[in-house]
Amino acid sequence: MTQTRSPPVDFTDIEQAVERLDDPSVVKHTPVERSTSLDAVTGGEVHLKMEHLQWTGSFKTRGAYNKIRQCVEAGDVKRTVAASAGNHAQGVALASTKLGVDSTIVMPTTAPQTKVDATRDYGADVELVGRDFQEAMSHAKGLVDDDGVEFVHAYDDPAIVAGQGTLGVEMYEDLPDVDTVVVPIGGGGLISGIATAFAELSPETRIVGVQAVGAATVADSLQKGSPQTLDSVDTIADGIATGGISDLTLSLIDAHVDEVVTVTDGDIARAVLFLLERAKQVVEGAGAASVAALLSESVDVRGETVMPLLCGGNLDMTMLQTVLVHALTEREQLLQLRVRIKDQPGKMKEVSGIIADHGANIQTIRHERAAPELDVGEAYLVFQIETSGTEHARRIMRTIRSHDYEVRHINA
C-alpha cells in the first residue's frame, strides 16, 4: 500500500503563523483597492492587494517573524543571519530587533542603497558581498558557525513559507469570491504560502505565478522535476532575482499553483509607470510583476474577479529613473531625433526653433561630424526632447522635414 506523504507546509502551519503574527507593529493588515483602470485594460474586475504598504515595504516580515519567533520560543537563538537583495533583509532585521535578537544580513554589492540603509536602520549589521543573490547566499551560510546562530533562508524553510501564507489568508478574507490571484515569484516562498492557504480556503481560485524572463526558473524546474538554478540573472526586478527555487517551494508550486507566466523588463517598467500614474502607488519592479502580467495579456482574466499582489514598494530612485526613461522613451515622450544639416551658422537655431514652436522641451543637443555617410560640410544635430507623446513627436518630425531637413527618430 502506497503511503501519502504529508505536505511540507499545510494550512495548520499557516493558522499557527497567523496567531504568532499578533502584533500590528510587526505586520499590519494591508488594504485592497479596486482599479477601474485595470478593469478597462483587462476586461476583469481588478482589486490590488497593496502589500507594498506593509511595514518594511514588503511581505517578507511575515515569514521572518514566524521563523525567528519559533526559534526564540525554543530558546536556541542569539543571532540571525540572512542573505537578501533587500526585502528579506529588512524583514529579518525588523523581526530580529522586535524579538531582541541580533542580526547580520549579507547583501549583494549591487543591492539598492535605499534597501541597505533601511536594513541597517531596522537594527541589522550589513555586509556587502558578491555580485548577486547566489554569491551573497554562499557567504552568509559561512557565517553560521556557532551555536545560537540561526540562518533565516529567504524561501527554503517551512516556517518562512507558513509565514508568507498568512498573506494568503488575508487576501481571501479581503475578497472571498476572487477568481484569480496573481503572485510574483522569486524563490517561490510567497506563492507557496499563498497557494497553500487558498488550497484550503478557496480551492477553486486560480493561482497564477509571474517570473521575470531574466530570472525565470520555475517552468524549467517543473518540466525537469527538480529545482533549476541560473548562473546569472538579468532583470530590473531585483526582489525576484533569486535565480533559483528549492525542493520545498517547487513541491508546493507543483501541488497548488495553476499557471506560471513570464514578463519582460519592458513589461515590468510599463507596470511600474502604470501604477504610478493610474493607482498613485510607488511599487518596485518585483511588486509590479503581477500587474505586468495583466498589462501584457500573459494572463486572461476577462469576466473574472482578480487580485494581483503588489508585494513590494522599496523602489530605489536610481531604478525609478531607469524605469521612467525606458517607459517614456517607449511612449515617445522622451525622444532622440537626428537631423542632417549643412554645417553652417544658424542651422542649430533654425531646427531648435521648429522644435520650440511645437512646445517641446529640448533636454540636450550635440553635433556629430564623423559619421561616414556625411558629405564634406555636413553634420548631424542630435536632439533629446520631451514631448506629450507619439502624435506630438510625429508633428515635430513632419515640420522639420517640411523645411527640407532629413530627420530620423534614433531611439525607436
Do both 140 and 204 map to the same domain?
no
Does residue 40 belong to any structural domain of this protein?
yes
Q: Among residues 114, 133, 151, which one ends one of the domains?
A: 151
Find out whether 247 and 222 touch, Cβ atoms under 8 Å: no
Do both 182 and 232 map to the same domain?
yes
Does residue 4 belong to any structural domain of this protein?
no
CATH of residue 353's domain is 3.30.70.260
Per-residue confidence (pLDDT) for residue 18, from 0 to 100? 98
3-state secondary structure the chain: CCCCCCCCCCHHHHHHHHHHCCCCCCCCCCCEEECHHHHHHHCCEEEEECHHHCHHHECHHHHHHHHHHHHHHHCCCCEEEEECCCHHHHHHHHHHHHCCCEEEEEECCCCCHHHHHHHHHCCCEEEECCCCHHHHHHHHHCCCCCCCEEECCCCCCHHHHHHHHHHHHHHHHHCCCCCEEEEECCCCHHHHHHHHHHHHHCCCCEEEEEEEHHHCCHHHHHHHCCCCECCCCCCCCHHHCCCECCHHHHHHHHHHCCEEEEECHHHHHHHHHHHHHHHCCCCCHHHHHHHHHHHCCCCCCCCCEEEEECCECCCCHHHHHHHHHHHHHHCCCEEEEEEEEECCCCHHHHHHHHHHHCCCEEEEEEEECCCCCCCCCEEEEEEEEECCCHHHHHHHHHHHHHCCCEEEECCC
What is the total count of domains within the chain?
3
Q: Among residues 105, 135, 151, which one ends one of the domains?
A: 151
Closest CA to 320 of 114, 88, 13, 82: 114
Do both 348 and 217 map to the same domain?
no
Does residue 139 belong to any structural domain of this protein?
yes
Which grid cell is 271?
Answer: 507596470
Do both 223 and 105 map to the same domain?
no
Do both 233 and 356 map to the same domain?
no
- pLDDT tier, 4 (very low <50, low <70, confident <90, very high otherwise): low
Would you say residue 2 has pLDDT above 70?
Answer: no
Do both 49 and 180 map to the same domain?
yes
Can you say whether residue 65 is alpha, beta or left, with left for phi > 0 and alpha for psi between -120 and 50 degrees?
Answer: alpha
Does residue 3 belong to any structural domain of this protein?
no
Mean pLDDT of 27-34: 98
In this prediction, what percent of the chain has a pLDDT beyond 90?
86
Per-residue confidence (pLDDT) for residue 146, from 0 to 100? 81
Closest CA to 213 of 298, 307, 317, 310: 298
Does residue 6 belong to any structural domain of this protein?
no
Do both 49 and 87 map to the same domain?
no
Do both 42 and 79 map to the same domain?
no
Average of per-residue pLDDT values in the chain: 94
pLDDT tens column, 213-228: 999 999 999 999 999 9
- pLDDT tier, 327 (very low <50, low <70, confident <90, very high otherwise): confident
Does residue 5 belong to any structural domain of this protein?
no
pLDDT tens column, 262-298: 999 999 999 999 999 999 999 999 999 999 999 999 9
Do both 164 and 39 map to the same domain?
yes
CATH of residue 305's domain is 3.40.50.1100
Mean pLDDT of 322-330: 86
pLDDT tens column, 128-180: 999 887 889 899 999 998 889 999 999 999 999 999 999 999 999 999 999 99
- pLDDT tier, 5 (very low <50, low <70, confident <90, very high otherwise): low
Do both 180 and 308 map to the same domain?
yes
Q: Among residues 124, 151, 178, which one ends one of the domains?
A: 151
- pLDDT tier, 12 (very low <50, low <70, confident <90, very high otherwise): very high
Do both 174 and 43 map to the same domain?
yes
The parent domain of residue 93 ranges over 60-151
Does residue 204 belong to any structural domain of this protein?
yes
Per-residue confidence (pLDDT) for residue 3, from 0 to 100? 47
Do both 284 and 167 map to the same domain?
yes
Does residue 128 belong to any structural domain of this protein?
yes
